[in-house]
Homo-oligomer: A and B are copies of this chain.
Amino acid sequence: MHDTYVHRYDASESTRLRDQAGTLEDLLHGDTCFPAGSEVLEAGCGVGAQTVALARRSPDARITCVDIAASSLREAEARALAAGLDGVRFHRADLCALPFAEASFDHAFVCFVLEHLPRPDLALAELRRVLRPGGSLTVIEGDHESALFHPDDDAARAAIRCLMDLQRATGGDACIGRRLYPLLREADLRDVSVSPRLVYVDASRPALVEGFIRRTFIAMIAGVKTAAIMAGLTDAPTFDAGIRALHRTTATDGVFCYTFFKAVGRRT
């Protein structure tokens, strides 16, 4: 999965992931708090965009983060230290072959990770394996087809489709959010509960216009321009027209919606 990550491993991508985490933190993580002393695994922590939010909400949990990319892990560790979180442990590991014994963790957490995996079922089986009976798994994913905007625009849709197609070409699924319920059930997790988190943005919410539409969503789509052109999915003028149309939704009469899905299941 390291070589096929559709978003780029560079500084602007790290900035985007951090901005996204800041804007969406309450919406996505506000109801996640792991008990004091519990062993928590964050699998696929990347640059640590979610790690600080996770650790701040569970200050006395024992958090272990793994990712397959060493460069991301170093950045995640630096971020955690900068935030004063010196108790978080970082290990390089493949999510589908975790270096932990069965039932090592009370809780596991994955955010924006399954969307990139050719076999999310194998990752879920592995996460279930390292959970103790009764332990919980929390998964958060987006679904790019949930993007609704006004003014609607074909070029904007086509630009979003480029990202979805690139992700599919590497075995991922940018629309995995809606599938969390069956994925967790098929992984033999029980009491699966899914709650969608809809981000709604209009001109009355300027922080979200900037933090979500521009710095999160458009930045994410714009980030695949070169890859999309190289893959023959678009050309520069067409793609740029799509990005302009997405920016048009940030005007005073524009609207933008996107839905994340959060699922929690339990190992019996």
Q: Complex formed: what's the CA distance from A135 to B152 in Å?
A: 31
Most buried by B among A143, A178, A193, A253: A178
Query: Is the pair A194, B200 in contact by a Cβ cutoff of 8 Å?
Result: yes
In the assembly, how many copies of this chain are there?
A: 2
A257 proximity list for chain B (CB < 8 A): 146, 178, 196, 259
Q: Complex formed: what's the CA distance from A203 to B181 in Å?
A: 9
Q: Complex formed: what's the CA distance from A150 to B253 in Å?
A: 32
A204 proximity list for chain B (CB < 8 A): 181, 192-194
Q: A192-B204, A200-B195, A200-B196 are in contact. Are A148 and B255 (CB under 8 A)?
A: no
Query: Is the pair B150, A179 in contact by a Cβ cutoff of 8 Å?
Result: yes
A195 proximity list for chain B (CB < 8 A): 200
* Those of A169-204 within 8 Å (CB) of chain B: 175, 178-179, 181-182, 185-186, 192-196, 198, 200, 202-204
Q: Complex formed: what's the CA distance from A178 to B257 in Å?
A: 8
Q: A195-B200, A198-B259 are in contact. Are A148 and B178 (CB under 8 A)?
A: yes
Selected from B143, B181, B200, the residue in CB contact (under 8 A) with A148 is B143
Selected from B150, B203, B252, the residue in CB contact (under 8 A) with A178 is B150
Q: Complex formed: what's the CA distance from A257 to B175 in Å?
A: 13
Query: Is the pair A255, B150 in contact by a Cβ cutoff of 8 Å?
Result: no
Closest chain B residue, CB of each to CB of A181: B202
Decide if A121 is an interface residue (CB 8 Å cutoff).
no
Closest chain B residue, CB of each to CB of A193: B204
A179 proximity list for chain B (CB < 8 A): 150, 255
8 contacts between A and B (CB under 8 A): A148-B175, A150-B182, A181-B204, A181-B253, A181-B255, A185-B203, A193-B204, A194-B200
